[in-house]
Amino acid sequence: MDTNEILNLPNIEEKKALIGGKITYHFMGQKFETFEDAENARNAEAAKRSAELQVQKEKEELMAKQAAVFAKYDEAPEYATWFVVTEPIPDTKNVWGGLLGQKETGLGAYVNLPALNDKIYEVCREASLNGYEVISITPVQSGVGGYRFPGGNTTGGAGWGYSFTQGVTILAKRRS
């Protein structure tokens, strides 16, 4: 492919005046008295566009290298995190002495420790099998600030009423 096609440069046009027959040269909307001046302007434009293409090519190469680094990292990141969550066990009370079953009070929730323990173990085992070493397990707290009474009225609870461990965040680092 021709350099002029790559740079998309227009040609120099030669125009002859109707009166006096003077020849002028036109390039990209500019008028030149001599062909050499027009050619110099065209060469300057070619150099400018060539430099811009080079900068664009370097940017694309850098972005490709960066994408390759990110792809490699994403395949096997140095650090990995998991969020492990279990549903809390709600506080209940017997309805009519237990004859009609139990009803949630909405006042408390208890951490489902066996389920949370099992999920933490599964994630830690999976991390270890994939070449990671767990470096921290951080509890994540949830809570309620107000109590909703039957009938929909929310009263009480100025601030944080109670909290429970909703789950944990596990952070692991790839073994070297």
Please tell me the total count of domains within the chain.
Answer: 2
CB 90 within 8 A of CB 162: no
* Residue 153 one-letter amino acid: N
What is the β-pairing status of strands 30-32 and 154-155? unpaired
The predicted-structure confidence for 8-60, as pLDDT tens digits, reads as follows 888 888 888 878 788 899 998 899 989 999 999 999 999 998 999 999 999 99
Q: Looking at 31, 52, 75, which one is the last position of a domain?
A: 75
The boundaries of the domain holding residue 42 are 3-75
Whether 156 has a pLDDT exceeding 70, the answer reads: no
- Report the distance separating Cα 169 and Cα 99, nearest Å: 41
Together in a domain, 55 and 85: no
Amino acid identity for residue 53 in this structure: L
Domain-terminating residue out of 28, 48, 75: 75
Whether 67 and 139 map to the same domain: the answer is: no
Q: Is 107 within 8 Å of 91 (Cβ atoms)?
A: yes
Q: What is the pLDDT of residue 66?
A: 92
Question: Same domain for 66 and 128?
Answer: no
Same structural domain, 90 and 169 = yes
3-state secondary structure of 133: strand
Predicted pLDDT of residue 54: 93
Instruction: Say whether both 169 and 88 belong to one domain.
Output: yes
pLDDT on residue 6: 72
Distance (Å, whole) CA 13 – CA 16: 10
Same domain, 83 and 61: no
- 84 and 64 inside one domain: no
**141 plus 62 within the same structural domain:** no
Give residue-wise pLDDT tens across range 88-142: 787 788 877 777 888 877 666 678 889 999 999 999 999 999 999 999 999 988 7
Alpha helices in the chain (DSSP H): 3-7, 35-75, 113-129
